[in-house]
Chains A and B, each alone.
Chain A
Amino acid sequence: TQLLEQSPQFLSIQEGENLTVYCNSSSVFSSLQWYRQEPGEGPVLLVTVVTGGEVKKLKRLTFQFGDARKDSSLHITAAQPGDTGLYLCAGEGNYGQNFVFGPGTRLSVLP
């Protein structure tokens, strides 16, 4: 089983601050996804990264896939209360099986 670890587990910041959350594994992934989940709802896909070193931007969110395809980061610039939620990374192994989710980073952005 390929495991994904996420850090930090919890993060509470003030509106306007920047932050970075991490997703790490000892295994190589063919792709990694980032989802955001709000209370009482299912996860919603934010982005998929496929190529080692790839950087994708989604408004104030910047996603990076590590060169070795074992880790990824999510950077939020000027966080807003609407960014509050559980951020999950998920990955598909090199052989198309063992799709796994990380435990998530719970972000709280205070006004």
Chain B
Amino acid sequence: DAEITQSPRHKITETGRQVTLACHQTWNHNNMFWYRQDLGHGLRLIHYSYGVQDTNKGEVSDGYSVSRSNTEDLPLTLESAASSQTSVYFCASSESWDEQFFGPGTRLTVL
């Protein structure tokens, strides 16, 4: 069965370190998304991609970057982790904006 996976599921890091969160989907979807979820804010879009070599900034992109070298993967990099980036991160994929399939999430703690 097609699926979308994220790794690691939990990560603890220190302020200033570079962190990369992995997202892999086997749906063969062109669109992929990264969100963060915080209490009181719901899901906020960080970056999204419509296909290989395409990346776009979302609502809260500062301090984050993504690259899309193939259809299946969209890794999210925190260049210099900050405590404000402690959150739960969700990756999603879809053929259109209105039917997104979400991964299980990565809980990131920045100390």
Contact = CB atoms under 8 A, between A and B. Distances in A.
Interface in A60-107: 88, 90, 92, 96, 99-104
Nearest to A33: B98
A88 to B, nearest CB: 6
A45 B43 contact: no
Contacts, number: 44
Interface in A1-20: 1
Contacts of B59: 1, 100
A42 interface: yes
B45 A99 contact: yes
A42 B41 contact: no
B63 to A, nearest CB: 19
A25 B53 CA distance: 34
A19 B85 CA distance: 35
Contacts of A96: 97
Given A33-B98, A99-B45, A42 B92 contact: yes
Interface of B: 35, 40-45, 59, 90, 92, 97-105
30 contacts: A1-B59, A33-B98, A33-B99, A40-B104, A40-B105, A42-B90, A42-B92, A42-B102, A42-B103, A42-B104, A43-B90, A43-B102, A45-B99, A45-B100, A45-B101, A48-B98, A48-B99, A88-B43, A90-B43, A90-B98, A92-B98, A99-B45, A99-B97, A100-B45, A100-B59, A101-B35, A101-B42, A101-B44, A103-B40, A103-B42
Interface of A: 1, 31, 33, 40-45, 48, 88, 90, 92, 96, 99-104
**Interchain residue pairs A-B with the least CB separation, the first 6:** A42-B102, A101-B43, A103-B42, A101-B42, A92-B97, A99-B97
